Structure 1
């Protein structure tokens, strides 16, 4: 009877709290936004730590093997050295991209602009011959200043992060965003340097306040999420670099224009399952068609051949089976995540679905084993 009374009291309390929250919904949203704004650097730091931990674990395994092989290296700080190696690789990668691809990207964009301006009179003439008023198009095009546009884009790169500030109602200034990112980066470094002790402390709190079965379940799910996301991110990063390089080499061999631009675009969009490959192929072909229609057709053929080789021989080895999902569930997760949260949803929906798939599979196997049913 006492248990029934407690359940009734809990249910009544929950109903009263829910009613109060709904009656003051706007104030609750403001409080939540304020809370998110205050904790934004911490959230950014935890996300950065989670992402950086993927390559960092690779270096930790490497240095651990070296310590076993060479006893004289027994005293080296593996965690600190792994973090330093990870940050050094990121800086090196940014430097390589900046020196090798950025000049090519700027030249490609400038070339596209020149081709567009050269062909604009022909296109306007064709539109006028079909009865369309093109006066407003001419006014807009003549008012463009490409160099001024490049200057504005370069000068406002730091303001891209303001979109995040609007979402969480944080400061919308570039300085505020830069401070949040900088503080988040510092927090990420501290988290990574003390991740062993932090993990131990979290486990202590979980096992101290929950039953052993519930604590084991939480630790198992946490380990599964960490392993799934690590495999997914590492596999996708490697696959993106390989695919971008293959496209760059293939377009260079066949003397197709905008090889730098399309290679970088392909590497970025490859994180979006299924849709990204079609989008980069279509955009690249559209850009090349403005230069030479036949080369535009050739670019589609070359792109599809490279994509086929990558899907058949490289992707299965690099990423294939990393999240343990069948193609049907992978496509379904990408479509649902894309409809709900756009491109970000498409990227993160696959590992989330993989985690849910493993949990549901384990639960179904336990239930079948309990019922002594073998399927």
Structure 2
């Protein structure tokens, strides 16, 4: 029997042999892990309670990290294109350049938000208010269209919902729905207040993260180098840079593309004199950020809003959106986003479906770049192995 296979081995005199330290550490970790897992499983409610508490504490930091990452894009532009000459003059000037870049970034955000609250949001509120106030008139228009279609084409059996009883019950159904929703309004307002507090704290955290970004990156590199084996250190840094590049280009490109699509939609709707052009264009622009399904998600409420006002223009809008999405998919988006993610169309579809199923809207937005990173890493590994075997590499 080999003495290193046991923690303690006794001889005839009752004295133990020296323990193998590596084996002892392994056994100690396994036993500790088993005990910890047993305690966690037997107190699962307490574990989830602690995790929920930790999550609520970490929410402002998560928001701050997200804001810092998103604002890092304009921050880099200001620092590299505007304040680069100042930064080259010395250490003090470098700190001034960083501070001015951060100040310029947040001023740009404040000006953008002020523009939205001054011009865009009031018009959106006005459009929504007008839409709600005129719903009875719009429903009467739809009823007249249904009767006209029935008289002209004889489609009474196909349009069962045009019956007058349906329209007379609309207000009752709306009142019932409103009664069901009201109990949740208080909880929503409380959550909104908490959300505003978390975003404000996150905003402050994002300022510190941007200001100390260079130092934080150096510290993370040193920690990685200290604890990561040398043969994996370079690979870890390379993966980090690749992930940052994919997410950065994907987010920036899609935001710019969606902004262009929203503007074109607004111009086109005004040209065709369609109702609620700003409201519908904002919906189209925001949902266009979601790959593949975004245009259809935005088109459905847009068509419905126009349908209750003017069914003919709703049909025109449907063809207009189809044409716009073809132009976007074949001309605009390839020029702006390019082949940033390097992901075949089939896997883009799979990543969106999986992301939506696991994490909802957030999964639909971030599923593509996440899957693209995994795909690129797996492709590199497969190509390396095929290269060693003298086979053709994977495209």
Do they superpose with TM above 0.5?
Answer: yes
Range of TM-score over shorter length: 0.7 to 0.9
Provide the residue aligned with 2:172 in structure 1: 139
How far is the alpha carbon of 1:201 from its aligned partner?
1.2
Matched, 1:36 2:55: yes
| 1:119-170 deviation line (CA, Å, top 9, x unaligned) | 445778987875957765333557999xxx9xx9xxx8x986x7xxxxxxxx
Equivalent residues of 2:84, 2:97 under 8 A apart: no
Equivalent residues of 2:287, 2:294 under 8 A apart: yes
- Summarize the Cα distance change of 1:176–1:257 in structure 2 as closer, same or farther, 3 Å threshold: closer
For residues 128 and 187 of structure 1, the distance between their equivalents in structure 2, rounded to whole angstroms, comes to 54
Equivalent residues of 2:141, 2:308 under 8 A apart: no
- Summarize the Cα distance change of 1:30–1:144 in structure 2 as closer, same or farther, 3 Å threshold: closer
How far is the alpha carbon of 1:75 from its aligned partner?
3.7
How far is the alpha carbon of 1:227 from its aligned partner?
1.6
For residues 382 and 67 of structure 2, the distance between their equivalents in structure 1, rounded to whole angstroms, comes to 35
Equivalent residues of 2:142, 2:308 under 8 A apart: no
Gaps of 5+ in 1: 163-171
Aligned pair partner of 1:223 in 236, 241, 249: 241
- Summarize the Cα distance change of 1:267–1:134 in structure 2 as closer, same or farther, 3 Å threshold: closer
How many residue pairs are counted as aligned between the two chains? 354
How far is the alpha carbon of 1:192 from its aligned partner?
0.2
Provide the residue aligned with 2:366 in structure 1: 348
Equivalent residues of 2:141, 2:309 under 8 A apart: no
Greater C-alpha radius of gyration: 2
More off after superposition, 113-122 vs 179-188 = 113-122
Matched, 1:317 2:350: no
How far is the alpha carbon of 1:255 from its aligned partner?
1.0
Gaps of 5+ in 2: 5-19, 148-159
How far is the alpha carbon of 1:259 from its aligned partner?
0.6
Matched, 1:369 2:387: yes
Matched, 1:273 2:288: no
Equivalent residues of 1:42, 1:184 under 8 A apart: yes
Aligned pair partner of 1:25 in 30, 39, 44: 44
For residues 128 and 48 of structure 1, the distance between their equivalents in structure 2, rounded to whole angstroms, comes to 47
Q: Which has the higher contact order (CA 8 A, sep 6+)?
A: 1
| 1:228-261 deviation line (CA, Å, top 9, x unaligned) | 1111111111111111101001111111111100
Provide the residue aligned with 2:213 in structure 1: 195
Provide the residue aligned with 1:178 in structure 2: 196
Provide the residue aligned with 1:283 in structure 2: 301
- Summarize the Cα distance change of 1:308–1:159 in structure 2 as closer, same or farther, 3 Å threshold: farther
- Summarize the Cα distance change of 1:182–1:307 in structure 2 as closer, same or farther, 3 Å threshold: same
1:273 counterpart SS class: coil
Equivalent residues of 1:115, 1:290 under 8 A apart: no
How far is the alpha carbon of 1:71 from its aligned partner?
8.0
